[in-house]
Amino acid sequence: MDHKTIHANGLEFAYLDDGPAEGPLALCLHGFPDSAHTWRHLLPELAGAGYHTALFHSGRFDYLGMQSIIRNRGYQTLEDAGSIGGNRNSSFGVDEPSTVARMLSWIDALPRGQRFALTYLPIAGHHPYETPERGPFPEREEIGRYRNALLYGDAALGELIDGLKVRGLADDTVWIIYGDHGEAFGQHEGNYAHTFFIYDENVHVPLLIAAPGQIPNQVRVRKVVSLVDLAPTILDLIGATPPALYQGRSMLDAVPRLALFFTDYSLKLAGVRDGPWKLIQELDSGRAKLFNLDRDPQESTDVSRENPELAERYKQATSLVFLMPSTPSQSRLSWPLAVGPWSPPAGIPHLRSTPP
C-alpha cells in the first residue's frame, strides 16, 4: 500500500479545524471487534474489545506537560525518544525512521491475529524544521525548511505503511492521518508558528481516513469537521455506537456541524467555522471579526457589520463553549448548532454496515 494507494482508498476532508492540540499524527486500527459496543472512552474500550493500544512518540513526553495528557488514558504501551533510542538523537527527540522501526518491532512481537490500535506521533514538521539531509526546497527561508521537514515525515509514514503491507496487515487496517495544528509564516501581521492566532493558517489541518476493506474509492468530502469528531468517527468505522456525551459526532453522517477553536497564548481568542463563515472573537474584550472564506480565503475583510445577526449568533456560540462554567462532561446536547447547511455535504459514503 503505497501513498497513492492509501490516498485512493479513503476519505479526504477538505476542511478540518484542529481545536487545541499539537503535530501531525497517524492512527492505525488493525482488525475489527467481534461485536459492536457503546463505548464511553475510546482507548480503554478499544483495549476492552481486544485491541492492544500503543503510542510511540519521536519526541519526549516530558515536553510541556505531555505526561498528564497521555498517562492513564488507556494506552497499554507508551514509548518516547528515551525508550526508542535512534540513529540521530537531539534535545527534541530521535529520527523518524528509528521510531518506525520500533513500531514495526512492536507489531512483530504481538501474538498472531492480535488486533491493535497504534498511534504514531512524530516530531518532523516542528520548529526548527530539522532534517537529516537537505531537501528539494530552498532552506534560506523557514517555509522551505518546513516543507523539507514535511517530506521527511511523509517518507517515514510511507515506511510504516510499507511495513504493514509486507506483513500482510495493510488490507485489514484503518488509517487515520491528520495534523493537529497548522503553521503560519507571516500571512497575517505577527503570525508565525501556530500558537498565537486562530487564522486558517493556524487551525486548518489535513485529514485522511483510509479503510481499504470498507472505502473502495477516493472521496473528497467538502464539509467542515473538527478533531473532536475523530473519536466518534473511529467508533462508527468499526461498527460501534458513539456515546451521546461526546462533543463531536461521526464525520460519516451528513449533519452539518460547527468547528470551534481557541488559543490563550497571548490574547484569549475563540473562533467558530460554519460553512463559508468564520468568526474570531477576543474573549476578554468581546471584539469580533467575521469572514466569508469563500469570497475572502485570506481572512482580510471583516464583514461583521454587514451581517450583524450572523456575527452575534457565532459570538454566542463561542461564549457558550469557552466562557460559560464547564460541567464535568459537557455533552454535545449543549454544543452549538450550525446555521447552515450552506451547501449539501458531498461524497459521504455509506460505511455503517456490520464489519467483517
What's the CATH code of the domain at 281? Answer: 3.30.1120.10
**Are residues 322 and 174 both part of a single domain?**
no
Give the pLDDT confidence score for residue 23 in this predicted structure: 39
Give the pLDDT confidence score for residue 350 in this predicted structure: 46
pLDDT digits (tens, 9 = 90+) for 73-115: 888 999 999 999 888 877 689 999 999 999 999 999 999 999 9
| 48 or 164, greater pLDDT | 164
Query: In which band, very low, low, confident or very high, does the pLDDT at 331 lie, cut at 50, 70 and 90?
Result: very low
What's the CATH code of the domain at 222? Answer: 3.40.720.10
Q: Which residues pair with 91 in a beta bridge?
A: none
Q: Residue 326 carries which DSSP code?
A: P
**Are residues 283 and 175 both part of a single domain?**
no
For cell 488514558, name the residue: 73
CA distance linking residue 50 with residue 34, whole number of Å: 9
- SS3 for 156? helix
In a domain, 346, yes or no: no
**How many domains are there within the chain?**
2
**Are residues 156 and 301 both part of a single domain?**
no
Give the pLDDT confidence score for residue 328 in this predicted structure: 47
Give the pLDDT confidence score for residue 91 in this predicted structure: 67
| 36 or 272, greater pLDDT | 272
Q: Which residues pair with 27 in a beta bridge?
A: 119, 176
**Are residues 29 and 159 both part of a single domain?**
yes
Nine-digit cell at 275? 460553512
Nine-digit cell at 273? 467555522
**Are residues 111 and 23 both part of a single domain?**
yes
Residues near 19 by beta carbon (within 8 Å), at least 6 away in sequence: 180, 226, 227, 228, 259, 260, 261, 262
Evaluate if residue 172 carries a pLDDT over 80: yes
**Are residues 263 and 233 both part of a single domain?**
no
> Which whole number is the average pLDDT over 201-228?
84
Domain of residue 317: give its range.
259-334
Look at the alpha carbons of 306, 301, 297, 17 in this order and tell me if their dihedral is positive or negative: negative
Q: From its phi and psi, is residue 93 left (phi > 0), alpha (psi between -120 and 50) or beta?
A: left
Domain end call among 191, 206, 237: 237
Evaluate if residue 20 carries a pLDDT over 70: no
**Are residues 209 and 285 both part of a single domain?**
no
Give the pLDDT confidence score for residue 227 in this predicted structure: 86
In a domain, 155, yes or no: yes
CA distance linking residue 22 with residue 264, whole number of Å: 14
In a domain, 9, yes or no: yes
pLDDT digits (tens, 9 = 90+) for 120-160: 999 888 888 888 888 999 988 888 999 999 999 999 999 99
pLDDT digits (tens, 9 = 90+) for 24-34: 466 777 654 43
The percent of residues above 90 in pLDDT, for the chain, comes to 32
**Are residues 219 and 304 both part of a single domain?**
no
In a domain, 345, yes or no: no
φ, ψ at 234 (rounded to 5°): -60, -45
In a domain, 50, yes or no: yes
**Are residues 34 and 137 both part of a single domain?**
yes
In a domain, 253, yes or no: no
pLDDT digits (tens, 9 = 90+) for 333-343: 455 667 765 65
pLDDT digits (tens, 9 = 90+) for 244-290: 778 788 888 888 788 888 888 778 899 999 989 999 999 889 999 99
**Are residues 31 and 83 both part of a single domain?**
yes
Give the pLDDT confidence score for residue 49 in this predicted structure: 78
**Are residues 36 and 173 both part of a single domain?**
yes
Give the pLDDT confidence score for residue 35 in this predicted structure: 33
**Are residues 276 and 314 both part of a single domain?**
yes
pLDDT digits (tens, 9 = 90+) for 39-80: 346 888 788 778 899 999 999 998 877 888 788 888 899 999
